[in-house]
Amino acid sequence: MPETFWVSGFFFTQAFLTGALQNFARKNKLPIDTVAFAFNMMSEEHESVTAAPEDGVYVYGVFLEGARFNKETMQLDESEAKILFTDLPMMWLQPVEVSNLVNPPHYMCPLYKTSDRRGTLSTTGHSTNFVMYLKVPSDMPETQWVQRGVAGLCGLDD
């Protein structure tokens, strides 16, 4: 199994993410609906990772529109002038039991496959464009980021 995953490269991203949760649930004999991801932003670059996490997955390849991720404060921050898109750092999607999930201050950042930010419901019951919500650390109110239209994107138009 790879140490890190380029999440933007998956055709059916939701299946990959569900599989990561299922592996944890099976390993710990838990019902799948009692586990969720804790989102841990990593300071390391994906090229420097030498081992996969014991549980969950390290993912990279997500762009941020409408804000930037400040690697010094490890939180969302205002965009810099004339920079429309920035990279989110590698994330550890760590499965945990929902009852043990700790939620520090964060922004529920929608993640889309494309910049269209729209899609249709497919036969699998998943959106053709929306992937999931990322809990990105932020000490600002959620309305701050909603007003700026902050979203994660798996791919850019160019």
CA distance 76 to 107: 8
Reported as a single tens digit per residue, the pLDDT across 78-88 is: 999 999 999 99
CATH fold label, 4-153: Hypothetical upf0131 protein ytfp (3.10.490)
Closest Cα partner for 14 from 118, 148, 111, 157? 111
Reported as a single tens digit per residue, the pLDDT across 66-76 is: 999 999 999 99
CA Rg value for the chain: 15
Q: What HEC string does 75-107 produce?
A: EEECCCCCCCEEECCCEEEEEEEHHHCCCCCEE
Residue 109 contacts residue 140 (beta carbons within 8 Å)? no
Domain positions in the chain: 4-153
Is residue 5 predicted with pLDDT exceeding 70? yes
For residues 130-135, average pLDDT: 92
